[in-house]
Amino acid sequence: NAGVTQTPKFQVLKTGQSMTLQCAQDMNHEYMSWYRQDPGMGLRLIHYSVGAGITDQGEVPNGYNVSRSTTEDFPLRLLSAAPSQTSVYFCASSPSLGQPQHFGDGTRLSIL
């Protein structure tokens, strides 16, 4: 029973590089979301999805892309990494809004 799996756990990038953070859940949840967590600022919503084929922007979407081709997977793409994107990224899923969210253990990303 894996829950929400995020890969990689750690990553160091150079400014301008692109990469994809992976998120997969095995609970058949419709709602998935990506957050970044910075010291003193709590979790900030980047993008979310209410089901396969549907995505929407959160509070801080600039510099990030998402897609939801399957119920299980919700990858987050950094198109051209910037030092300001250094953060811890969390993926979460729930059956729907109004339900408890299950979080992965995060990806710690450093942009040099």
Interacting residue ranges for another protein, rule: CB under 8 A: 4, 33, 35, 40-45, 48, 56, 58-59, 90, 92, 97-106
Closest CB to another protein among 15 and 110? 110
Strand partners, 76: 21, 66
Are 42 and 60 in contact, with CB atoms under 8 Å apart? no
**44: helix, strand or coil:** strand
Closest CB to another protein among 28 and 100? 100
Closest CB to another protein among 26 and 56? 56
Closest CB 85 distance from another protein, rounded Å: 19
Are 6 and 23 in contact, with CB atoms under 8 Å apart? yes
One-letter amino acid at 16 equals: G
Closest CB 43 distance from another protein, rounded Å: 4
